[in-house]
Chains A and B, each alone.
Chain A
Amino acid sequence: MMYFDLAGHNLTYAAVIVGIVYILGLAALTMRQAWKRALKIGYTKSQLRKVARVAISHTLIPAVAVLAGFFALAPILGIPLSWWRLSIIGNTSYEIMAANVALNTAGLTETAGAGGDAFILIMYVMAIGIMGGMVIAPLISKGIQKGTFKLRAADRRWGALGGSVYMASILMVFIVPVFFHISVALLTLVTGGVMMAAVKWVTHKFQALWLEDFALVISMLTAMVSSVLWNGLLM
């Protein structure tokens, strides 16, 4: 059986559907537990719906970008495996890199004309290569979270301040290098920042509370559209 016979086989679709249903079921179960606990400690349903609404509105644009990645992956991996890989762990650039590493190991340069075993090899390599976090998290995450709780219980002020350092440091590592030369990325970043400041100003000035939930979406979308303009200008 050749690579694309297996990549588009009904059984491959069936296996992928089982996997996706499992992830959806787990997400539903996790959400249910959190929702029940939230109601128990005093959150209202409308507050929780607001959390879900914010999460959904903030997911739409990045998810469309993931979908764009699907069309980059599908010609290499076939539809079901691309669907599976982008619905779970991983991202487009990793998947393409992992597929290339697997093909090189099998002595191939492209998937067209490869055998079915190359497809299975790619599935294994993609799964194993990115599994590190899933193996490490069960071992250390609970300890880290308990440590964070203890820290906060001991000193609420330091707990809040110390907690803010993580996000700020991660942002710094990604943002600072962008400022070193004029590029599409820099102009897009500045546009995103300016738009966020503008939306915040409008929200505060006109007390438009509803707008706050969409601040990130509006800023990101404008900045992404502007990147096309910046790309044209800098080219």
Chain B
Amino acid sequence: MRAAEKRRGQATPRTETKVYSDSKRHTDKKRLYSDSERYIDGMHRLGRIGTLGAILIMLGMPTLLGIHFHALPPFEQAARAAIPLLMVFVPSSFIEVLSYTPIMGSAIYLTLMTGEVLNLKLPVINSALKVMNAEPGTEDADIIATIAVSAAAFVTIAIVTVGVLLAMPLQPFLTLPAVKTAAANILPALFGALLVNALGRDLGGGIRARGRFKGLLPSLIAIVLLVLFDRQISVFFHLDKLAQQEGSGVIMTVFQGFVIIGVLPVSYFCTRWLYKKGRIQVSLPGEAGEAPTDPIARRR
């Protein structure tokens, strides 16, 4: 209901028949709710089946080729190589699923299947939600994230495919040192822009929060301390050899995923506590003094 009101404020729907009138929305509230639930359940079902299919293809491909060419490696050798990788990547995958699902919703399945989560899918979803003024954690956000991730997957596959077809003429350009430097700095370039986007009171959907960064302060202090005492912590946990290999802070690079899983609950519960205490004030669209003053938000 609120989402519909919000959308009606954003733009005039193209076809009247596709939009529920206010009265119909009241009488059909139960049906709309179950429609929404059915949609979300359906998307999770599709995601699960799709993921299972992708796993079968990923494992089926080497199996079939190995059988056809009589080149199957011994199982023990594959396990010996895969287990160390699994030990590193399973915890970080768990953290990824835990921290990205609230933002991505049911789009998480396609996101994980198509990869490039941090440098591509997450910012794409973030921008799409921002441009559509959608609140994260809603059905609207789920739909927008799904459309954005699908479009991003098409473009990435298309560009890599073009690269495959034009491998010869493109290679000299893409292997230039300047292009390599620029490509290596994609994450700082992205995070600088996202940081400015994340500052401010807007939470999406016209909801605004005053003082919301107070809840992040304990995590910020913890991160600063981890960076400052990285070397000492590495020595304490006998990770100094790893630190030498990395040439920089080992905690914030190799164990970045674990830092995220530590920081998330701290930020979450501090923000919750401050919100309950009234130190962080959240106002809904149209509430006193918090009507969107941003001309772009008004016009959208």
Identify whether the interface residues of B are mostly helix, strand, loop, or mixed: helix
Q: Is there a chain B Cβ closer than 8 Å to A96's Cβ?
A: no
- How far is B284's CA from A46's CA once the two chains are assembled, in angstroms? 26
Q: Which of B61, B148, B189 contacts A123 (CB 8 A)?
A: B61
Interface size class of B (residues with CB under 8 A): 35 or more
Inter-chain pairs besides A142-B44, A167-B198, A178-B191, 19 sampled, C-beta below 8 Å? A15-B61, A31-B147, A37-B143, A41-B3, A44-B11, A44-B14, A88-B113, A89-B112, A142-B106, A145-B106, A146-B40, A148-B101, A148-B137, A161-B275, A165-B267, A169-B99, A173-B252, A173-B256, A228-B182
C-alpha gap A121/B119 in the complex (Å):
28
Could you tell me if A189 and B191 are in contact, using CB atoms closer than 8 angstroms?
A: yes
In the assembled complex, how far is the CB of residue A190 from the closest CB belonging to chain B, in whole angstroms? 6
A contact residues around B259 at 8 Å (CB): 173
Complex contact A34–B147 (CB within 8 A): yes
Checking B85, B99, B120, B227 against A98 with a beta-carbon cut-off of 8 angstroms, the contacting residue is B85
B residues less than 8 Å from A168 (CB atoms): 198, 213, 216, 267
In the complex, how many residue pairs between chain A and chain B have their CB atoms under 8 Å apart?
Answer: 558
Interface positions of A from 153 to 173, Cβ below 8 Å from B: 156-173
Instruction: Select from chain B the residue with minimum beta-carbon distance to A48.
Output: B147
Q: Are B13 and A44 in contact (CB under 8 A)?
A: yes
- B189 near A220 with CB under 8 A, answer yes
Within 8 A of A (CB), among B161-178: 161-164, 167, 170-171, 174-175, 178
Complex interface: chain A residues within 8 A of B35 (CB):
40
Closest chain-A Cβ to B67's Cβ sits at a distance in Å of 10
Q: Please state if B192 and A67 are interface contacts (CB–CB under 8 Å).
A: no
Question: Contacts A55-B147, A185-B188; is A132 near B61 (CB within 8 Å)?
Answer: no
Q: In the complex, which residues of chain B have a beta carbon less than 8 angstroms from the beta carbon of A43? A: 7, 13, 143
Which residue of chain B has its CB nearest to the CB of A150? Answer: B137
Cβ-neighbour of B249 out of A1, A117, A177, A220 (below 8 A): A177
Total interface residues in chain A, CB < 8 Å: 158
Q: Given contacts A129-B89, A188-B189, are A105 and B80 in contact (CB under 8 A)?
A: yes
Residue B4 at the chain A interface, CB threshold 8 Å: yes
Least Cβ distance of A147 to chain B in Å? 8
In contact, B82 and A128 (Cβ under 8 angstroms)? yes
Q: Which of A191, A203, A220 has the most CB of B within 10 A?
A: A220
Asked if residues B147 and A65 are in contact (CB atoms below 8 Å), the reply is no
> Is the Cβ of B186 less than 8 Å from the Cβ of A61?
yes
Contact among B3, B82, B126, B195 with A124 in the assembled complex (CB-CB below 8 Å) = B82
State A156–B209 Cα separation when bound (angstroms): 12
